[in-house]
A = this chain, B = another copy of it.
Amino acid sequence: MQGLMMDYPLIINNILEYGNLLYPDKKIITKLPNGLIHEYQYRDFYKRVKKLANVLKNLGIESGDRVGTLSWNNYQHLECYYAIPCMGAVIHTINIRLSVEQLTYIINHAEDKIIIVDATLIPLLEKIYDQIKTVKHFIVFNTDKIETKIPNILYYEDLLSKEVDDYTWDLQDEKQAMGLCYTSGTTGEPKGVLYSHRSMYLHTVAQSQTNSLGLNTRDIVMPVVPMFHAMCWGLPYSCIMSGTNIVMPGPHLKPESLAQLIEEQKITISAGVPTIWHGLYHELKNNPRDTSSMRYSLVGGSAMPRGLIESYENDLKIKVLHAWGMTETSPLGTVSILNENHEDMSQEEQFNYKSKQGYPICGIEIRIVDDHGKKLVWDGETMGELQVRGSWVAKSYYKVSPNSESFTDDGWFRTGDVATITSDGYMNITDRTKDLIKSGGEWISSVALENELMSYSGVLEAAVIAIPDSEWFERPLALVVAKEDHNLTEEQLKAHLAKSFIKFWLPDKIIFTTEIPKTTVGKFDKKEIRKKYWLKE
């Protein structure tokens, strides 16, 4: 017997309408490419979203069509985040840091019909425009007129100015696709995750829960995480549902600019990858600012080194909220908020918890399993492959079949991460399954070694990989970048590691270098590192 409740769909349109109705005065503030500040209110944003929906309709975009975006974080991109899915199409957020080959591949794979592009990224588009055959129109913003070899350029503001600011949404199916985001996997071609309105809506509500990000009308949120990275962690939707002010840094991701925005705009929550926080920490240490408005820095994308969490909290009095997710999980999966049980712990133990990726938010289930798929115990020690399922987790990739490698037979997504989970549900990623060092029948966590190395005062960055070993099968090798004016020796670092790890875990060799290769989203590119060092040793 079914209940007798209204059939009211969970669609992005309702977030837009709610935000406009309840919070018309709230602000969206963008630092433009020229450094000036653009500011308008939800009520203005709302009208322009409806105009953009009309633009797309009149250009022939139909339900389910993909519309690509090539842009930094700014208000125009936010307009795309709403207009495209609300009128029934699919926003494909293109990662501008991909290689030309990958860009061409994903645009052709997505079969984008229109690409909306930030004027500053026209040079990038020029490299590929003649290889992406499905794209009928390029719409450029942040310019009135641009010199380019790309034919048939349309101008965003010009198009909007010709449309009315009314549009009657006709979307009803909450399972309709709303967004497409490709993962820049370290192996194989990028794979697309196709979000539905329902999945993104539920993700959005979850982010506003007090046990989750706790967004509310008093927040001023600055997403530093790019809008082309895992749907900007869902913030474009959860901020508007929760009525926060939104501050968009545009292309200005240098620490100085971010520090200035935090102080001037009185940011309460900022979100980004550890690399960003690393740079910002040094900026704020060297040029102190008033950052007292900050409730917390949301960190994800890769693990925040424990030392950096401590530095933020102790030196800058800024709380760090460590979270975990993947493109395949919309992305928010876990958050590391301490609860009242942790209050009696020593500061040392509390930082242990804060450096974990945290507990699953309600709607997400996690488990760890061994090589045979057997579920492992939550004791904070046992390592296993992290698997996840829930309302906002992918069940397959776009136009990829079969997906058996990434999904289990019983319906869980295989993250490729290796993790432990404490008895109170705090998950800690110890490695990627690919990066785990399998030595003499034991597992050695490359991430644990990296974090310990990076906690040493003279170390700027450290990466650990496995190298082949005839006796032990694999052994750890460490790459270390020293901070300026620091002379480090292998012996010093090994002695440091020996305080925390058994001898068998210590890298056989530590190599000093000037830079560690990184992926387009700022993670250590272990594939590249292995390419360079695996065979040489």
Bound complex: CA of A298 vs CA of B396, how far in Å? 43
Which residues of B sit under 8 angstroms from A64, Cβ to Cβ? 1
Contact B10 A196 (CB under 8 A): no
Other-chain contact of A173, B2, B4, B7 (Cβ < 8 Å): B2
Among A1, A214, A391, A395, the one with the most B-chain Cβ atoms within 10 Å of its Cβ is A1
Other-chain contact of A217, B2, B211, B398 (Cβ < 8 Å): B211
Cβ proximity bits A354-389 to B, threshold 8 Å, 1 near / 0 not = 000001101100000000000000000000000001
Bound complex: CA of A339 vs CA of B25, how far in Å? 12
| A29 interface residue per 8 A CB criterion | no
| A193 interface residue per 8 A CB criterion | yes
Which residues of B sit under 8 angstroms from A216, Cβ to Cβ? 210-211, 214
Which residues of B sit under 8 angstroms from A193, Cβ to Cβ? 4
Minimum distance in angstroms from A293 CB to a CB of chain B: 13
| A175 interface residue per 8 A CB criterion | yes
| A60 interface residue per 8 A CB criterion | no
| A218 interface residue per 8 A CB criterion | yes
Contact A2 B211 (CB under 8 A): no
| A105 interface residue per 8 A CB criterion | no
Minimum distance in angstroms from A432 CB to a CB of chain B: 22
CB contacts under 8 Å to B, within A167-223, are 173, 175-178, 193-199, 202, 205-206, 208-211, 214-218
Contact B10 A398 (CB under 8 A): no
Bound complex: CA of A391 vs CA of B175, how far in Å? 15
Which residues of B sit under 8 angstroms from A7, Cβ to Cβ? 395
Contact B398 A21 (CB under 8 A): no
Contact B211 A243 (CB under 8 A): yes
| A90 interface residue per 8 A CB criterion | yes
Contact A1 B211 (CB under 8 A): no
Among A14, A64, A210, A395, the one with the most B-chain Cβ atoms within 10 Å of its Cβ is A210
CB contacts under 8 Å to B, within A329-359, are 339-341, 359
Contact B4 A339 (CB under 8 A): no
